[in-house]
Amino acid sequence: MRRPTGPARRACSPGWGALAKTTDIPVGGGTVFKDRKIVVTQPTAGDFKAYTAVCTHQGCTVAGVDNGLIECPCHGGKYKIEDGSVAGGPPKGPLAETAINVEGDQITLA
């Protein structure tokens, strides 16, 4: 069997494909995709951002988004949804940004 190449390969490969619909990500909030270790936020209407969901303090997976902050349950780390920068707690560095594509109502990994 021949392996797909180009866009067909991307559609079949792990890591590619839809993460969510734009309507699944609340304005001023976000959603953690624990299975993909990604958090997607929407700081303002129509502005979507994505970051690794791995806390920079000790590698825990962040648990959720509340009041404009991405929160880590392990030691109280908090990150801003606008840019992933540290907003509180012990983390010394920001969450790494993850590339996404937003086409129509679909959010996919880039």
> Of 104, 86, 102, 109, nearest to 48 (Cα)?
102
Domains of the chain, by residue range, sit at: 26-109
Could you give phi then psi for residue 11, rounded to 5 degrees? Answer: -65, -25
Q: How many residues does the chain have?
A: 110
4-35 confidence digits (pLDDT tens)? 344 333 333 344 578 999 999 999 999 999 99
Helix (H) or strand (E) holding 9, with range, is helix 6-12
Distance of CA 56 to the CA centre of its chain: 14
38-75 confidence digits (pLDDT tens)? 999 999 999 999 999 999 999 999 999 999 999 999 99
Evaluate if residue 102 carries a pLDDT over 80: yes
pTM of the model: 0.83
CATH superfamily label, 26-109: Rieske [2Fe-2S] iron-sulphur domain (2.102.10.10)
